[in-house]
Structure 1
Amino acid sequence: MRTMQTTKTFLKTSIWLIAFSMLFVITSCDKIEQGAFLEDTEGKCGQDLPSFPIRKILIEDYTGHYCGNCPKAAETAESLKEIYCDHIVTIATHVGFFAATQSNADSSYAYDFTTAMGDELDTQFGISAQGLPRGMVNRTEVDNKLVLAYAAWGTGVDALVGLAPDIDIDIENSYNAATRTVTTEVESEFLNNLAGTFNVVVVITEDSIVNWQNIYPFNPVPGYPTGDVENYVHRHVLRSSFNSTWGEEIAKGDVVANTTTTKTYTMVLPDEWVEDRCSVVAYVYETSSNEVVQAEDSKVK
């Protein structure tokens, strides 16, 4: 993972490169050129970001509440979010042996964080079989590995964050409190010509679920004791998918720039989910490679 100082140097160097290249390049209104958004966005989020699209990177954190090393992976994802800010979208997916529920007298580890979608992804990519924690960064390889130890997540992000986006995703949510129904409209616009088959996956996550988590004494995280921790805050937890594990096709073949598709989905939130902490996450991936081309998230309300 790069240090904060390395990130600053990288971004400042990028600014000079952009200034130099602008002497020779006229940017098309219909195409986002490489490097167009590479200004110093460190520490800037939301309204402070440029108005034009940026590439967002999906970190899939595969975890389990009885995995004592997993909190350190979650801390890594949050550290990357602090560095790269709105460039990072995170989903924490509980899978495998360490995510199994337990029948303990104190009710520890009784909560079921698992999902059908998570189980399918775990089977497809063989994640928990490699030992948790593991993750993927846009489902791209680092050193010829797709499923990554958390120490490699920063390297994966660093390789992608300087690339201009090929797709822009816009999410518009509405929430009916009386029926607990969220309606989400997801628009995907191709900014450049692309070839392949592209699916959009739309899921819902819930942040800050307070429940049990094991933390190994030899791999502690700030703010928590080690051992069985009753009040651990679980971040960005995958809850369910609006449109299945593999999503819905939005484009196929030679896709020209400015191609736009809009999909609308609804879901009734179970009573135990806290709507104020729920977000809709959408990502577009190319089906033959499974590579995530763009991601986006937006709070339910």
Structure 2
Amino acid sequence: MNNLNYVLFILISSLVLLTSCDKVDHPYEKVASVNLDTTLYPNGTWDDYLANEYPSFSQNTNTNVNVLIEDYTGHKCNNCPTAADIAHGIHENNPNRVFVASIHIDPGANLSFQSAFPNATKYYTDHTNPDAVVYGKEFENGFNFGGNPNGTVNRKTVDNKMFDLSGTWQSRTSDILTANDLKVNIQSVFNYYQSTNGGFLHVEAEKKTSEAIEMNAVVYVIQDSLVDWQLMPDNTHNEFYIHRDKHLGSIDNNPFGIKAFDADAPVGEKVLLDYSYTLPANINKENLHFLIYVYDVDTYEILQVIKQKIE
């Protein structure tokens, strides 16, 4: 993959926890930390955090495969509201297993907000972000990404197409939910501190398949909803349109994530991924959540996704 030019710092857990007290017992073979901002912890030293607030994950395994619909969209795309409604409807019918990320970008990473028409001055908001631009460039050729609205369902390729129109999203989703082929289990905890408006996301991933798949993990930051202008199917301009599940980028600014498992990792291997995050000052924590997914590096296919609320 051309865009995976990132640094992954893998530590043996005993080294990470060398200075922590014996209250912390981590059964993980590997711990991956991404430039943690430990100053977000207001209640003492980082050793105090490791000893007293680092989570323990249950041994229960999630047996359900979940689905991520990536809805590539734009607020000057008149067909995009219909696609957004379809994606939201699929989520509402499967609220605990189907999640949506509305990614504002055009093929080739053209910025949708630059399009001109008589009411262009009302569409001043740039809903894109650097990670979305990377996706636009990565997927503009060879993936059937022909223009907004378009989308992927777990980025699974069907009939030689990873991207497809919204009319196929329900059947694609149903096929994945029915097959329920779990290849990786994901659990997460987010510890939030109001005084610093930030916290720490801890993700445990466990490989559940004997297949030789190199896997990376990505964490999307999603804004639940916001009101802004949108071009509608009848070419009217809706000032009060509700944009749902807006993709704000990744938690660590790594659009293609960090390594979770090498291809030769055995069944049952676990990895713990640690992130720190400061919430945007202009968005309430109740209006944000994370989507955490693990995907096949060779095919881009998302193998599992979970939602983590910020509470």
* TM-score, normalization by structure 2: 0.73
Match for residue 306 of structure 2?
296
Identity percentage of aligned residues: 26
Q: Aligned match of 2:138 in 107, 119, 124? A: 124
Partners of 2:81 and 2:233 within 8 A in 1: no
**Pair 1:195–1:128, CA change in 2 (3 A):** closer
Query: In 2, Cα distance between the equivalents of 1:179 and 1:147?
Result: 40
Query: In 2, Cα distance between the equivalents of 1:183 and 1:134?
Result: 33
Match for residue 175 of structure 2?
159
Question: How much has 1:147 moved relative to structure 2?
Answer: 1.0
Question: How much has 1:258 moved relative to structure 2?
Answer: 1.6
> What does 1:71-220 correspond to in 2, within 5 Å?
71-96=81-106, 97=110, 99-100=112-113, 108-126=122-140, 130-162=146-178, 163-217=180-234
Report SS of the residue matched to 1:85.
coil
Query: In 1, Cα distance between the equivalents of 2:113 and 2:256?
Result: 24
Query: In 2, Cα distance between the equivalents of 1:79 and 1:290?
Result: 25
**Pair 1:106–1:215, CA change in 2 (3 A):** closer
Query: In 2, Cα distance between the equivalents of 1:52 and 1:295?
Result: 11
Query: In 1, Cα distance between the equivalents of 2:144 and 2:125?
Result: 19
Moved more, 242-251 or 158-167: 158-167
Question: How much has 1:134 moved relative to structure 2?
Answer: 0.4
Q: Which amino acid aligns with 2:247?
A: L
Partners of 1:62 and 1:135 within 8 A in 2: yes
Partners of 1:142 and 1:152 within 8 A in 2: no
Question: How much has 1:202 moved relative to structure 2?
Answer: 1.0
Question: How much has 1:159 moved relative to structure 2?
Answer: 1.6
Question: How much has 1:271 moved relative to structure 2?
Answer: 1.4
Query: In 2, Cα distance between the equivalents of 1:60 and 1:78?
Result: 11
Partners of 1:91 and 1:236 within 8 A in 2: yes
- State the aligned residue count: 244
Partners of 2:229 and 2:239 within 8 A in 1: yes
Moved more, 130-139 or 172-181: 172-181
Q: Which amino acid aligns with 1:116?
A: P
Q: Over the residues paired in the alignment, what is the CA RMSD in angstroms?
A: 2.2
> What does 1:229-244 correspond to in 2, within 5 Å?
229-243=238-252, 244=254
**Pair 1:245–1:52, CA change in 2 (3 A):** closer
Partners of 1:65 and 1:214 within 8 A in 2: yes
Match for residue 237 of structure 2?
228
Structure 2 unmatched runs, 5+: 1-59
Query: In 2, Cα distance between the equivalents of 1:119 and 1:295?
Result: 22
Provide Cα deviations, 1:218-256, integer angstroms capped at 9, x if missing partner: xxxxxxxx6111111111111121230110001112232
**Pair 1:257–1:101, CA change in 2 (3 A):** same
Provide Cα deviations, 1:8-45, integer angstroms capped at 9, x if missing partner: xxxxxxxxxxxxxxxxxxxxxxxxxxxxxxxxxxxxxx
Query: In 1, Cα distance between the equivalents of 2:219 and 2:301?
Result: 16
Partners of 2:102 and 2:245 within 8 A in 1: yes
Provide Cα deviations, 1:93-115, integer angstroms capped at 9, x if missing partner: 00135732579889521112101
Moved more, 53-62 or 267-276: 267-276
